[in-house]
Structure 1
């Protein structure tokens, strides 16, 4: 049986080391991290001289910043429920254990730590000591359960893979003092998943079952809405999420109950299904950004500028992306919900051009109706010869079809996909009797996947994914005999409400991690009806997205890049976070605020009866003119006031900054002052970031 991660770890600290031990496994070796070098070693006995500091739930990882290395430990974890008997936890609180005791504070080091702490605190991270959260049930059924949990983890969803790299490298090759593989480290390596997780025990038509929804966010090309779009050279797309909807029948160990004694205390699994066959049915979908090189450039305008590079340049990247998708999921049904008119049209056309390049001799067809010139656009292979002939492109004009709040028309897309969904099937497995390792006897495989996208892969995408999930669950419940042929679970109002709630929660979690707010259109997902109150909530969320995407997402993107290893701090990269813009440009928003303050004071301050009116009017008009000039300057030079990522600069940000600075130099009011004081500052903002980027490459 595989060595599972320790459920209980005590941390002992001294001036020379940190020592990690498991009280429930006294014979297991002690993991020692020497201070201040950070060298790792295994010790067969308990080290003397270190006082016990605390008990922790696990080690999230180790990270090196500018001046020091830190061990990130999970100090508090919340039980979320049992999945097939295994307890699932959410990371609630962490602590950073420094290897050095710094007598002085370093501005950059403190900022790095603040970014990481904010990301971990806000990021929904889940783990289990005995269950592989990163893999679907179908992939788990093909893995060897005797392999350690971290080795089984799907690399895409092993969120803390980078910060665990010190432990993993030590496990694989050891050190010069302890050479060779160090299997004793396995129980200290805890894989963590980032995403959404809900486990609900419920009933359908009086049949008890457990409904589970898991969304796994890929660690590759992770980031925020406008700073991470499209595909990278390695074939990773932005905002890639895998969503698995699971139904478990006869699982009596799905609550928050205690342990079943003995071994259950170690691995967190409890057994027992009352002699009935435990059945698992899962249905998997994916979502991800349009796989071409494209970006939306923030300029403080509500609608960013759209940039699309030549589609031909992204062919090799798209091939890498879809080769992996086909290898993992089989045939891919690519549902594109991007608008066919306006600014989004270019993204739609670029996607279709890419698919035509990948699919040999494509057959194209359109299905029309009275409402739309192009309801569906299908690109299918003309032959079955090549790997990418397993891609099937389906365009659905979501906005046009559902305008007037007629969202039930999403069913047209489900009907169009009916034959593909019938052929696709779903995963079905049953517990193998008396198998201590919890392996499944596979009765059915899911043979393909629907990959859905819109511009952000958030709002429209979630509506369509929930409709596909509804069709899947109706089919599963019918196959089980819980529903009769032609019946849907809508006949059970309580389950209908629960299903809508879990998918709306999923929409909000995925949207918050990417855009900063909950999803739009969730009133339809929650209630089945598009309401005016929901439209007002969407307006509020859109305004919040605008503010966060322009003024708050830079540090958030930096935190992603730091935690996931896309940026590596060095001792030479000093004052990375200092605002290097000319002071005059920095001061304009403050002058704008002061101007409005003075206008407010002048307008609402009570004046004496015999006071002259003209000076006050001149005062108000002067500050109104200053405020108007400041507002106009900020709008015209919006790129100078977007909160850009500072660690890994986006190419369009650097180009836009240079262009904006050259425009400011020509300004009749302050152009001369900026030109005189600007010396080199236009690029200094990005210099240190480029160092880290080049070093990674």
Structure 2
């Protein structure tokens, strides 16, 4: 019978005709054989190795088919980050691609695909355990069927490598012996700290799981999709384990647990996700992108599907909205509130004013309990105005407003003694927090909610005295604040490309001028990354998660990643840079009296060229954004085509852009210049349906 847990050690034997994976610690288990060059997978009890042992690895991340070849992605290096109830947890540190074909591939598209995947794996914070289900909360694990393999117990939302494991999963129906080779990996943040509080040893765990559905970058994925998946959806669980003395380096070891040992596990779960309507912010190289919101009515089926799923998983949802009530964000706020009012039965609204604005809080509650959606509770908090002037402690006002909800939702609490486990309390609801990006303001509020929950948990089990707070213990408070700040940075980098803003408040409990300067730096970096670097990052997400399937048809070769804009459009940034260089050079280089007037005129000419180039790029900014090449968003397709049409009417360059000799293979009405070619093969860009 196959093990329900993945193998901790695997050896690879490589031969011209196959790869063989086998665990030296399980000599009687079937070996995994991958045929070359077909990539067919099979289980063999006693394989003929016929090759040389390449290396020992930590696990198989998965297999992926690109344009010309299939690759096995292996985990070559993993770092131990801690133990949860004796179960070792690792972070993926290094990976390697094993090709099916012997020959070297020199195809531009293939090389770009591999570069995208390698960049994603190099920067992605991915974690795994051989014996502990990182994809599920402690509470969900209590109802799991432990007879199932670890990968089958995994929450499919957070099984990050689910798509690239599909080759192994597909053969599982006929051969369960493949189970120990399937290793679930989560994407997000994980911190495990062994510490002491009030003379009580405990283990503090903070884990954030990023959903693989509608995953992507800041301005390329907003709102929800037709299936109800929210962008930048993350589940964050804070857990405290009291009385745990296990910690064997070999992972979970039942013999290491003292039968008389009483272990208490307490956890608290929160979620974050984009505002659940169809909306987008369209990059155009301006600092503030253009906001687009489709009709709320069209988003109702998707919003209903989203909250139906959330309620089934978490119970009541307390929807904390932190966007601004004025300016461009007001439209997003209004759309969210309209969705909630259409979903709940007989909605009742109430609002509370402040000295600064007419609306500090707004609440929407159902007046009757007739349907599933009546488990939604909407709370708006004017974070921007209430916390203005570095007064972020005023966010505590929000905690007072949802105090009854926090009291009612409780938390998860179990007591374990030996092999016996008793659930004392379960969490019955969840706080779903959002701002525009679900990053900076959201991080501040989530860390506050987590501390409230933690104080309550530790008081209930007697670690803290009534009225006592973890803030009274400097070392623990330092660890707690930095864990949440590190979590904020990791979630932010995955979505926006930089660390989070406002983490000085999370780390120190106060807003500082140094923190404000760091936020300014991050904001500027975000601008450049979001406009000029997020396209490839989005392509990497789509490729790794199976949202885009490369075509192996010859006609798409050497076309997909080539810049097909008109040459004149491409040249404007270079003209701008050259003009600036010449201006600087004319003032730095030595002058002679005879050429002074000529140099001044030349400088003025260069300045005029630079100014015109800058104005052109600003006016037709969408032509200079690094859009995704694999699954271009619909709003980008429309906006790009409209901008290109306007550029063709430009008084200076328009007539040249319309000339066939200059246009050549430009990006046309099909966006990125490839849609017409890709239509030959409809499988290009399809989403894999699992």
Q: TM-score, normalised by structure 2?
A: 0.96
Name 2:331's counterpart in structure 1: 346
CA distance in 2, matches of 1:694, 1:52: 38
Q: Report how far residue 268 of structure 1 moved.
A: 7.1
How far did residue 693 of structure 1 move?
3.1
Aligned to 2:549: 568
Task: Please give the per-residue CA displacement for 1:19-68, whole angstroms capped at 9, x wherever unaligned.
Answer: 10000000000110101111111111132312111111000000000000
Match of 1:215 in 2: 208
Q: Is the 8 A contact 2:548 2:686 kept in 1?
A: no
Runs of 5+ consecutive residues of structure 2 not aligned to the other structure: none
675, 683, 686: which one aligns with 2:658: 675
SS of corresponding position for 2:359: strand
| Inter-CA distance 383–24: structure 2 relative to 1 (3 Å threshold) | same
**How is 1:284-299 mapped onto 2 (pairs within 5 angstroms)?**
284-299=269-284
Confirm or deny that 1:388 pairs with 2:373: yes
Q: Which structure 2 residues correspond to residues 349-368 of structure 1 after superposition, within 5 A?
A: 349-368=334-353
Alignment-derived partner of residue 156 in structure 1: 157
Separation in 1, partners of 2:539, 2:110: 13
> 1:178 corresponds to which residue?
none
1:550 maps onto 2:531 in alignment: yes
Say which SS state the counterpart of residue 148 (structure 2) adopts: coil
Q: Distance in 2 between matches of 1:532 and 1:366?
A: 33
C-alpha distance in structure 2 between counterparts of 1:379 and 1:80, whole Å? 43
Q: Which range is displaced more, 61-70 or 102-111?
A: 102-111
The answer (yes or no) to whether the contact 1:86–1:269 under 8 Å persists in 2 is: no
Alignment of 1:87-166 (within 5 A): 87-166=88-167
Distance 2:49 2:358 in 1: 78
Task: Decide whether aligned partners of structure 1 residues 237 and 695 sit closer, same or farther in structure 2, where only a CA change above 3 A counts.
Answer: closer
Distance (whole Å) between structure 2 residues aligned to residue 273 and residue 627 of structure 1:
74
Distance 1:455 1:623 in 2: 41
2:10 maps to: 9
Aligned to 2:609: 626
Q: Distance in 2 between matches of 1:268 and 1:274?
A: 13
SS at match of 1:584: helix
Q: Relative to 1, partners in 2 of residues 1:618 and 1:371: Cα closer, same or farther, differing over 3 Å?
A: closer
Q: Does 1:187 align with 2:171?
A: no
Which ranges of structure 1 fall in alignment gaps of 5 or more residues? 173-180
SS of 2:167's equivalent?
A: helix
Could you list the per-position Cα deviations for residues 200-250 of structure 1 after superposition, in whole angstroms to 9, with x for gaps in the alignment? 011111211111100000000000000000000001000000000000001
How far the C-alpha of 1:671 sits from its partner, in A, is 1.1
Other-structure match for 2:41:
40
2:381/2:398 contact within 8 Å kept: yes
**Pair 1:243-2:236 in alignment:** yes
**Closer, same or farther in 2 for the Cα pair 1:187/1:621, shift >3 Å?**
same
> Which residue in 1 is equivalent to 2:169?
168
Q: Secondary structure at the match of 1:526?
A: helix
Label 1:626 to 1:672 Cα distance change in 2 as closer, same or farther (>3 A).
same
- Is the CA contact (8 Å cut-off) linking 1:252 and 1:274 kept in structure 2? no
| C-alpha contact 1:648 1:689 (8 A) present in aligned 2 | no
Maintained 8 Å contact 2:57/2:74:
yes
For residues 502 and 441 of structure 1, the distance between their equivalents in structure 2, rounded to whole angstroms, comes to: 29
Aligned to 1:26: 27
Query: Aligned partners of 1:494, 1:103: CA distance in 2, in Å?
Result: 54
2:223–2:231 CA contact under 8 A, matched in 1: yes
Give the secondary structure class of the aligned counterpart of 1:586: helix
- Determine the C-alpha separation between the residues in 1 that align with 2:340 and 2:355: 27
Give me the whole-angstrom Cα distance separating, in 2, the residues matched to 1:689 and 1:203.
60
Report if the CA contact (8 A) 1:426-1:446 is conserved: yes
Q: Identify the residue that residue 580 of structure 1 maps to in structure 2.
A: 564
- In the other structure, the counterpart of 2:391 is 406
Match of 1:67 in 2: 68
- Aligned counterparts of 1:355 and 1:273: Cα–Cα separation in 2: 50
Q: Distance in 1 between matches of 2:196 and 2:356?
A: 40
Query: CA RMSD, aligned part only?
Result: 1.5
1:499 aligns with 2:480: yes
- What do residues 87-119 of structure 1 show as CA deviations (whole Å, max 9, x unaligned)? 000000000000012344000000000000000
Equivalent residue for 1:177? none
Cα distance change of structure 1 residues 115 and 551 upon mapping to structure 2, 3 Å threshold = same
In 2 relative to 1, CA 160–268 (structure 1 residues): closer, same or farther, beyond 3 Å?
farther
